[in-house]
Structure 1
Amino acid sequence: MSEEYVPVLIVGGGIAGLTAALLLQHHGVGAVLAEKHAGTSPQPKARRFNPRSNEVFRALGLSEEIAEAGAPLAKFTGMLTGPTLAEATWPEMTPQLTAAAVQHAELARLSPAPSVLCPQDVLEPVLRRAAEARGARLRFGTELVAVKQDADGVLAELRPADGEPYTVVADYLIAADGARSPIRESLGIPRTGAGHLADNLDVCFRADLAELVRGKEFNLCRIENPAASGAFVSVNGTDVWLFSTSDFPVGDRRARDLGDEEWASLLREVIGVSDVDIEILSKMPWESGMYVAERFAEGRVFLAGDAAHAMPPMAAAGANTAIADVANLTWKLAAVLAGNAPATLLDSYHAERYPIGYATAAFSSQVSGHLGTMLKAITSGDTQRADIGATMFGVQYPEGAFVADDRGPSPEDHYAPGARPGTRIPHAWLGRDGDQVSTLDLVGPGFALLTGPDGEAWQRAAAEVTAESGLTVEVCRIGTDVTDLSDDDGGWLAAAELTGTGAVLVRPDAVVAWHSPTCPERPAEALGKALSQVLGR
């Protein structure tokens, strides 16, 4: 049996796996991705990618391509409700919905990347093409047969659908192999959480409904009908749609026995148009549930995405959390593989991502049932209220690869950035060489040191640290090297709680590693110590 070496083996070619492959390439790490299916997902599945996820795509230079791929759904942002799609109307603007709309509008000021509506079956091919073009070795139609690890590495047996099995030797393995994750099960990692919530069935179909929905372009449409309750989902906004329902649980005779013609007849009832031509494209049963692995890592194996935390699809929380997982993990793997950090840095992956994954899964599990049930809870204000800016940009890791300061945790009821260690760096628009860039654009693929306009001492300090440690720290003085275009009082420095001589060290995943409000007497010593603490050197 032939043998191949690779620094990182990724198992699973969905959003988590493909994003991990792209990020590893971004950080200069070779990877092999193995996916048992011959192609990317044929199902729309996750569709709404929030600004934080789009910031990751922006760092990879893919946000514009993804926006173009999702352009047919650009206007499909609303929520409808009714007994049929034809009779559906916009929900009443309750105080809760009004407050949520205001918060969503505020997101545009807090991030350089808007949320994007791009179905998973459209997004994944974009990620796959980019990964292949950038040199990632993607092995679709290749199944993981067996895997074992020891203190020196991971040994995996892969079997292509059209070839002989072969062995891959890797330093580390990312298990992005889905909610049922054979890798997680082989490691004996238990899961906790609310467990099973509902059985669902997604029916993807083709029907020309463009005129029917004109003027009421929707993202989701809740249906309460004797024939079937659930929700319509816009896939391309013209002739491809999805109906999701929990009225036909797995094993139910109707779900098993209904043929395409029967489904087409049922869909006409819930659409409310009797003569529309319908072609059934696929039917996919799935479980809505909350299952969170007790450990996101075991030795040299790391769980990401649904393998680590399966959750209901409220606001595509699972996919967005998966992207954050691999953004967190890949730079750490790169640092260890390059010899810039000890392997103990990787312990911070579980420490940082587990609490976030569990909290997100719990929040998404407030409502059991089908997508329509979730939609009803959102529009009626029956779900737990949360400040969108705080939960998206102000989330603070409780512990991990950063140097905590004495300011305490970020507030949860509103977004107050402060550039606290363990949080995402605040966004502000900057001017550089006639172009507009974000503070987030100054970050990665290595560490960045963002300083006030009087940060000359930090430039000398970073050069000294680089010479001594071999680590490169890119320095940018806000207000000198770039112009602060922020309209906020005090600009970015005030938002980051820095003086003109202060500095903030930012990790490659745009998370603040260390905050120094002013320049200390020995900046090189302070910076070197902080960097060592962050990396665990």
Structure 2
Amino acid sequence: MTTRIPVLICGGGIAGLTAALLLHREGVQSMVVERHPTTSPQPKARRFNSRSTEVFRLLGLEQEVAKASAPLAAFTGMLTGPTLAEATWPEISEGARAHAAQHEKLRELSPAPSVLCPQDALEPVLRHAAEERGVLVRFSTELVSFTQDSTGVIATLRQTTGDSYEVTADYLIGADGARSPVRTALGVLRSGHGHLADNLDLCFRADLTELVRDKPFNLCQITNPVASGAFVSVNGTDRWLFSTSDFAGSDTLDAVAWRELLRTVVGVPDLEVELLSRMHWESAMHVADRYRAGRVLLAGDAAHVMPPLAAAGANTAVGDVANLAWKLAAVLGGTADPALLDTYHAERYPVGYATAEFSSMISGHLGTMVASVTSDDGPRFDPSTTLFGLQYDEGAFVPDGREPAPVDHYAPAGRPGTRIPHAWLGPTTSPLDLAGPGLVLLAGPACTEWTAQAERLGIKHRTIADPHWLSETGLPADGALLLRPDAIVAWHSRADVSLAEAMGRVLCTTAPAPV
């Protein structure tokens, strides 16, 4: 018998598991299939920015993520030297110091902190939450093939036992990584700068507690004739990663040779060290030309591959599925036209391409990326605007006639297509916490017209009286705005559009008015 599921998700990593949790929050059942037997054993992405942790906060996982990231809470600095033992805090340029000061201001703009949480610590949190909430999570299960038509997607799944079965889904999310078989099967091409560098990650176990006691580091650039690259803190005590350029003959080295290499770059000749894994990886920029092909949608590395600068790929993946999940839920729930799913590509493709291109401005080796942070060699940008001030050019929102948000400083002002500004409305509540499930109307304290319309339309509404936040969003006391589940403003009352018409245009059930 064929199993029927609303959404089938291929890939049990950060993108796939977060998508499943967001769909569950919107009331949509999904199945996650992953060919590997468990979540990633590699640290990989570690820095999750506030936009990602805002999503985890909405999912009720803030405390779990904080616990998983606690071992690295104090590991914030960057070192440089010929070995880890000799490494010191580098001289920071004036430009880099000013940039760091800008980053400090980010804490005021979000209810959720940026965290260092290795991927091998975060993914089990997501998997446990998904399974506990009733998501169908199937590891050791491979998506062998699929077909689609106007009624759905038929997928053939194969377990490691050799047993195969079919699943029929309304939609399929391909979150299956950089080599995505789903994207390949669709024939979707990719654009971008392509190959940048060949890298080799050595994950190892060694007790370095005393060595780093006075220099807790996030990253440590190493310039050494044996191997140059960067050390990465995994748990701050006995698990570490050394990333270097891949080299000819690396596959022929035995355990003794690897142990000696690690002892050399650590700078402790008699160090007891165990090599846990080697991972060859390509630093590259590849962005899928289409994020949607019928009933199949691409997310995460399947949609965009980029150098791992500040875990840009993983953070962009979280943003992808936050954008996609509520749209799938609206379509499956019958409140939106399937054309709403076209806005996923319209909104996220430019973000994925721009982020990948920016990450590619620095050499694809991790050591070079570290050096760019402590000097003036790397590209400079306003982090507040980049992280919180992004504005979609087109998509599931109703423009209100204002000029686009500025790109040189943070001032989104509640513009449709931008993230809603943060303010503490109480000891623990932010407007971002009010997003979803479904669309929500946030109204000023004297608003009666828009809340009455919201009640007639069956839209949840909340009143916010905080004068600072009202000023920040450009709302008069009798104004309102419509908030999407991904914390993006869908409509602002300064637009000359009724709430009913705005909903129709956001959900693609009403044609947009001619410009």
Cα distance in 1 for residues equivalent to 2:428 and 2:23: 27
The TM-score with structure 2 as length reference comes to 0.97
How far did 1:163 drift? Answer: 4.7
2:272 is paired with a residue whose SS is coil
How far did 1:353 drift? Answer: 0.2
Question: Does 2:449 correspond to 1:457?
Answer: yes
Does structure 1 conserve the Cα–Cα contact (< 8 Å) formed by 2:400 and 2:494? no
Does structure 1 conserve the Cα–Cα contact (< 8 Å) formed by 2:422 and 2:431? yes
Question: Does 2:285 correspond to 1:290?
Answer: yes
1:287-337 Cα offsets, whole Å, 9 max, x none, are 000000000110000000000000000000000000000000000000000
Partner of 1:311: 306
Question: Does 2:495 correspond to 1:526?
Answer: no
1:389 is paired with a residue whose SS is helix
The answer for unaligned runs of 5 or more in structure 1 is: 467-472, 485-489
Cα distance in 2 for residues equivalent to 1:369 and 1:529: 47
Partner of 1:505: 482
The TM-score with structure 1 as length reference comes to 0.93
Question: 1:412-491 counterparts in 2 under 5 A?
Answer: 412-431=407-426, 435-466=427-458, 473-479=459-465, 484=466, 490-491=467-468
Partner of 1:470: none
Question: Does 2:98 correspond to 1:99?
Answer: yes
2:429 is paired with a residue whose SS is strand
Partner of 1:407: 402
2:428 is paired with a residue whose SS is strand
Cα distance in 2 for residues equivalent to 1:199 and 1:414: 36
2:340 is paired with a residue whose SS is helix
1:326 is paired with a residue whose SS is helix
Residue type of the alignment partner of 1:454: A
How far did 1:170 drift? Answer: 0.5
Residue type of the alignment partner of 1:516: S
Question: 1:299-378 counterparts in 2 under 5 A?
Answer: 299-378=294-373
Does structure 2 conserve the Cα–Cα contact (< 8 Å) formed by 1:452 and 1:477? yes
Partner of 1:395: 390
Partner of 2:513: none
Please identify, of 350-359 and 263-272, the stretch whose mean Cα deviation from structure 2 is larger: 263-272
State the superposition RMSD in angstroms.
1.1
Residue type of the alignment partner of 2:463: R
Does structure 2 conserve the Cα–Cα contact (< 8 Å) formed by 1:142 and 1:158? yes
How far did 1:205 drift? Answer: 0.5
Does structure 2 conserve the Cα–Cα contact (< 8 Å) formed by 1:174 and 1:302? yes
- Length, aligned pairs only: 509
How far did 1:264 drift? Answer: 1.0
Partner of 1:110: 109
1:280 is paired with a residue whose SS is strand
Partner of 1:79: 78
Question: 1:29-68 counterparts in 2 under 5 A?
Answer: 29-68=28-67
Does structure 1 conserve the Cα–Cα contact (< 8 Å) formed by 2:284 and 2:364? no
User: Structure 1 residue runs of 4+, over 6 Å off?
Assistant: none
Residue type of the alignment partner of 2:483: V
The answer for unaligned runs of 5 or more in structure 2 is: 510-515
How far did 1:459 drift? Answer: 2.0
2:211 is paired with a residue whose SS is helix
Residue type of the alignment partner of 1:41: S
Residue type of the alignment partner of 1:288: S
Cα distance in 2 for residues equivalent to 1:501 and 1:383: 46
Please identify, of 393-402 and 380-389, the stretch whose mean Cα deviation from structure 2 is larger: 380-389
How far did 1:417 drift? Answer: 2.2
Residue type of the alignment partner of 1:189: V
Cα distance in 1 for residues equivalent to 2:386 and 2:288: 22
Does structure 1 conserve the Cα–Cα contact (< 8 Å) formed by 2:439 and 2:484? yes
Please identify, of 97-106 and 47-56, the stretch whose mean Cα deviation from structure 2 is larger: 97-106
Of all paired residues, the percent bearing the same amino acid is 63
Does structure 2 conserve the Cα–Cα contact (< 8 Å) formed by 1:49 and 1:118? yes
1:360-397 Cα offsets, whole Å, 9 max, x none, are 00000111232001111222121221110101010011
Cα distance in 2 for residues equivalent to 1:367 and 1:498: 41
Residue type of the alignment partner of 1:477: T
Cα distance in 1 for residues equivalent to 2:296 and 2:87: 48
Cα distance in 2 for residues equivalent to 1:452 and 1:440: 16
Question: Does 2:472 correspond to 1:495?
Answer: yes
Cα distance in 1 for residues equivalent to 2:95 and 2:440: 39
Does structure 2 conserve the Cα–Cα contact (< 8 Å) formed by 1:501 and 1:517? no
How far did 1:436 drift? Answer: 2.8
Cα distance in 2 for residues equivalent to 1:140 and 1:82: 42
